[in-house]
Amino acid sequence: MPTAYLLLGSNLGDRAATLQAAVQQLAATAGTVEAVSGLYETAAWGLTEQPAFLNQAVHLDTHLSPTDLLTACLHAEQLAGRERHIRWDARTLDVDILLYDDLVLDSAQLQVPHPRLPERRFALVPLAEIAAQVVHPGLGVTVAELLAECGDELGVRLAH
């Protein structure tokens, strides 16, 4: 069964409860959740004048193809009340596919690995907690190495 790594993020409403519900939703529709990281709080990236995010990485063994997994992720966002108006705007839930096995895919619908993963500390820190030795298929380096080389200075702290 393919392995996928997802990043969940929320900065509206009860962020922790939203992430917990999203993990349960993905377990019910997309596969078996093998591991979840802790919750990490970060300032917003992109549009910075908005509430802080909670982010969490998820290791999922999935029976879905990459595009079907994307559909399941978008459905989880919908169930959480996600509305899309402005790119990087505040949101109840954001689910990104970071990695899917050793697949490199670049289509109009989906890019895997996530194209901005190497430059986003808020994604790398929780991912490194559960997948530090996983190799990025496009770059040939581990998640831990990506984190060590990441120039992003955005603060990421474990939420309590």
Measure CA of the first residue to CA of the last residue in the chain; give whole Å.
33
Contact 108, 37 (CB under 8 A): no
Catalytic residue among 15, 91, 120, 121: 91
What is the C-alpha separation between 95 and 149, in angstroms, rounded?
24
Catalytic residue chosen out of the listed positions 15, 96, 120, 152? 96
User: Is 15 designated active site?
Assistant: no
- Asked if 143 and 159 touch (Cβ cutoff 8 Å), the reply is no
Catalytic residue among 15, 94, 121, 152: 94
Catalytic: which of 14, 15, 61, 82?
A: 82
* Residue 120, CA distances (Å) to 8, 24, 42, 63 in order: 14, 25, 11, 28
Which residue carries 């997948």 as its tokens? 131
Tell me whether residue 101 is one of the annotated catalytic residues: no
Beta bridge partners of 54: 10, 41
Active site residues: 82, 91, 94, 96
